[in-house]
Structure 1
Amino acid sequence: MSLVIGEIAYTNIVPPFYCLNREELEKNGCRFVPKVPAGLNAAMKQGEVDVGGISSFAYGKEKGKYVLMPHLSVTAYGPVGSIFLFSKYPLESLEGKNIALTSASATSVHLLKVILKEFLHFTNITFTTVTPDAEKMNASFDAFLLIGDDAIRTFWKREKLGVYYYDLGQLWYEYTGFPMTYAVFAVRKEAAEEKKDMVHMLYKQFIESKKKALGPRFNDMITYIQQRHGGTEAFWRAYFRNLHYQFDEKEKEGLLYYYKLAYEHGYFERPVTDIEMWMTGNEVRDLL
């Protein structure tokens, strides 16, 4: 019996994975499989993956299937730095325009729709989901949404494209005052019960990896990311300063507000009014 862990290649989720002792985990029954965010969401839903950093929207959509690991998320209190709406027009002029949405996203797609409808009161925008490709999206649409490393690379060449750009995390924070949690660390309920020891072992390693990657191994992590993706050391240091990897009460509060608006705008079939955790605070302290 193995514990299947979905791993997204995006830079924003690197810290909880960077310092894992993969050899030990694999020796004890863990198996890592690469996924894009949308693919991980689907694989978790279908039971092909037991644990993963899934999109927050996917958790809300399939809430009854999962429990969430405490103190682990991808969250921003303001700019997230890798979720951008790029546009030929100023934000306030997008009524009646057509916007391309990346097929790699769930949380960010609905975050954009919520922002445009709830706070800017737009009612006549055409959305089209396409494969993420900045040049093609820019050629065919008035604006386009990209996430993750696609968004970062496009941000670096924004002047060449001649576009306005809007960080969705910054917009959300300005309109609501809440942080936005983009990914949560979810465990299928069956795995949490049937593979408890492996889930415990993995969780402890996630927490330890996060601490090391954002602490004594931070410089190593930055070098590793530069080698894979380019960019300057200053850019990546600033990028990770804006990201938070906790999931405590304030993060839950912001996420529940996002769920409330998503339901009110018809993106959920039922309201999501609570978040089911894998362990209580006392249980986590005892485990760690």
Structure 2
Amino acid sequence: MSTPLVLRMGRIGYLNVLPIYHPLEAGILPHDFELVSGPPALLNNMMARGELHVSSCSCFEYACRPERYYLVEDLSIGSRGPVMSVLLLSRLPIEQLDGRGILISGETHTSVALLRLLMRDRYKLNVRFSTGPVTPAVRGATPPTAFLAIGDEALRLRNHPDYPYRLDLAEAWRDWTGLPFIFGLWVVSREAAEQGLFKTDPGALLRRARDWGLQHMDLILDLTGLGCPLSREELLTYYRDGLVYSLGQEELQGLRLFYEKLATAGMIPAPPPLRFFRM
């Protein structure tokens, strides 16, 4: 007898998605998925290789391989202003970074692409990028002049005394375009969908989980506060004001504009069509 297929769902290993995944991890909302946790770049690669059936995914990954995926409707991880967890930290004022090097984390594709766009088109700065682990470099003998930090690492390092100049990338995008910035999307494997592997709608499950998490924010704050560098009040601001979990018309405008700017800069071949999963 054949072994039943286990559907696998990718879960970014950052605090910002806890409102979505806690109800699934805690069994509050029953489901048939195996949850696989990892940084965005790892989950992107696993989705690209067909090792996951549903996953949170960087919007840059979707732009690179749109033929592989369907988008989940009305679900994203983004920001309408300061996001606090995607930061360029610098020893020098940002305008003095021309000709300097910036260390970037290898865990993210979208944030790096956004930083490249901001440096090139918003601030008109010619900078050099190198990739490597951020926290060890900051603690090392020759720390970088500036670095990009994301997720929980950014929350830990955001007030580092040696890096007094801070650029919140989501806030910089909003100032530049007037629109929200979408860092991550949720995608469904097109191959899995076409094979009929989903008996129920994974997007509906994820949206129910998001709604449950946002309706039980006191519990999410209790869970997040364990070992977190932010105070409870800062965490509430982070979840309530810093992040957006929907994908409405304004978020879609911001996403489409980002794709247009990436294509103009030659980072992707063309803006991808936005195709959504439907049962």
The normalised TM-score by structure 2 is 0.91
* Mapping 1:25-104, distance limit 5 Å: 29-104=32-107
Pair 1:195-2:197 in alignment: yes
What's the CA shift string for 1:189-239, capped at 9, x where partnerless?
0122322214x1x33331122112111x11000010001424210010010
Distance of 1:266 and 1:205 partners within structure 2: 36
The normalised TM-score by structure 1 is 0.89
Pair 1:166-2:170 in alignment: no
Pair 1:263-2:263 in alignment: yes
Q: Shift of residue 110 of structure 1?
A: 0.6
Q: Shift of residue 84 of structure 1?
A: 0.3
The one-letter amino acid paired with 1:173 is R
The one-letter amino acid paired with 1:75 is G
* Mapped contact 1:100–1:137 kept (Cα < 8 A): no
Give the SS at the match of 1:53.
strand
Distance of 2:247 and 2:16 partners within structure 1: 15
Match of 1:127 in 2: 129
Q: Shift of residue 44 of structure 1?
A: 0.3
Change (3 A) 1:108 1:227: same
Distance of 1:252 and 1:203 partners within structure 2: 17
* Mapped contact 1:16–1:210 kept (Cα < 8 A): yes
Aligned-pair identity (%): 27
* Mapped contact 2:23–2:29 kept (Cα < 8 A): no
* Mapped contact 1:3–1:191 kept (Cα < 8 A): no
Distance of 1:175 and 1:100 partners within structure 2: 23
Equivalent pairs counted in the alignment come to 272
Long gaps (5+) in structure 1: 284-288
Q: Shift of residue 248 of structure 1?
A: 2.1
* Mapped contact 1:138–1:144 kept (Cα < 8 A): no
Q: Shift of residue 29 of structure 1?
A: 3.8
What's the CA shift string for 1:50-96, capped at 9, x where partnerless?
11111111111111110111111001111111000000111111111
What's the CA shift string for 1:135-193, capped at 9, x where partnerless?
247943221000000000001x42x2242111000000001111100000001101223
* Mapped contact 1:6–1:34 kept (Cα < 8 A): yes
Match of 1:254 in 2: 254
Change (3 A) 1:108 1:162: closer
Distance of 2:272 and 2:12 partners within structure 1: 28
Give the SS at the match of 2:267.
coil
Match of 1:286 in 2: none
Distance of 2:21 and 2:248 partners within structure 1: 20
Work out which of the residue numbers 11, 18, 25 in structure 2 matches 1:14: 18
Q: Shift of residue 247 of structure 1?
A: 0.9
Give the SS at the match of 1:89.
coil
Change (3 A) 1:144 1:11: same
Give the SS at the match of 2:99.
coil
What's the CA shift string for 1:231-272, capped at 9, x where partnerless?
21001001012211101222111111111111111211x111
- Large movers: runs of 4+ above 4 Å: 21-26
Change (3 A) 1:97 1:7: same
* Mapped contact 2:29–2:209 kept (Cα < 8 A): no
* Mapped contact 1:38–1:104 kept (Cα < 8 A): yes
The one-letter amino acid paired with 1:161 is D
- Structure with bigger helix share is 1
Match of 2:183 in 1: 182
* Mapped contact 1:104–1:132 kept (Cα < 8 A): no
Distance of 1:244 and 1:110 partners within structure 2: 20
* 138-147 vs 29-38, which moves further: 138-147
What's the CA shift string for 1:6-27, capped at 9, x where partnerless?
111101112211212665888x
Give the SS at the match of 1:6.
strand
Distance of 2:139 and 2:83 partners within structure 1: 24
- Aligned alpha-carbon RMSD (Å): 1.9
Distance of 2:102 and 2:209 partners within structure 1: 38
Match of 2:210 in 1: 210
